Structure 1
Amino acid sequence: MAYALLAVRLLVGIVFAASATGKLRGAGAFAGFEDSARAMGVPARAVRPVAVTVVAGECAAVVLLALGPGGAFGFGLTLLLLAAFTAGIVRALRAGTRTSCACFGASTTPLGRRHVVRNTVLLALAAFGLAAALAGTPVPGQAAGVLVAAFAALVGALLVIFTDELGSLFDDGAPRTQGRVRGSAP
């Protein structure tokens, strides 16, 4: 359990660090995140405070995941942030809002079900991490186990970070309707 907790702490920490970095890498990236928040229904007067709060929360989550024996406070914060992100995405999708995902900075990929699935997986990982941290999971002791956990975390984090790119590899570009079956003629 100790190595699984370490892997989840690292994975979630890397994802949140990449997310904050993507939004902070330049004025254009941050403005793109603000535009995405506005399109997702954040009132115009609240866009800047919400965007700043989100980025500050992401940075704080990374620090909190790194501190302490289990990172429980970091997992708690990531659960709150992920729940808000997921609710915002679901709301935008239900409203038919067409906006790009600015999760990791500038992107042209519109929000879609893959973003909900990605966040749901992250929510499950953060919930596992919080439960394991609160249970008092011991600190890992074997260097080989730590390396395997770190490698697994890195691979998992890269899959999460590059969800849009990976999804586009398998997307044929055709619109999805209830009557259309993948592979059938339009």
Structure 2
Amino acid sequence: MSKRPDRPHENKLSEDDRVLWNLVARSAKPLKGRTAVDIPDIALEAKPTPSQPAQPAANAVGAAKPKPQHVTHRLDDPTLDKLSKGRLPIEGRVDLHGMTQDEAYSLLFSFLHRAHAGGIRYVLVITGKGSSSGGDGVLRRAVPAWLSTPAFRPLVSSHDHAARNHGGSGALYVRLRRVRA
């Protein structure tokens, strides 16, 4: 199958697809006798990095008050109960095990953005418990903080720890905001 010059848009990857492809390509191991291909990092200019959270500006005298932001809340108990018992469907899941913070942040942001655009309401984010190195898990602590940042507020309505059968403290239920028409 040859590429057609009259359709230059046909074989282009979106930015989200390119990030996901880089994550997969970096995890692949070459066949015996082959050398690994160097995969360059992709700079994500539009998305803030997890190591540099947005800092609120200090209010000077006479400065305009900051606009109130959406606040992420815990899931209500009836919803949490329905999710844990399987009466409310979890329509998507993403596993962040073994990723660096930058990789996990990029994957989580693109996953939630696509899920929100697709009208998905409840997803499961698996962070892992992180007890292998003796700590309490970098992603386990970081992901709930990320979900409360301005970058995620338009997407996330609320989140809470998952039930034991869905990963317990190593996973989070996330309720996405409804898509406005």
Structures share fold, TM-score greater than 0.5? no
TM-score (norm 1): 0.24
TM-score when normalising by structure 2: 0.24
Q: Which has the higher contact order (CA 8 A, sep 6+)?
A: 1
Higher alpha-carbon Rg: 2
Structure that is richer in strand per residue: 2
Determine which structure has the larger helix proportion and give its number. 1
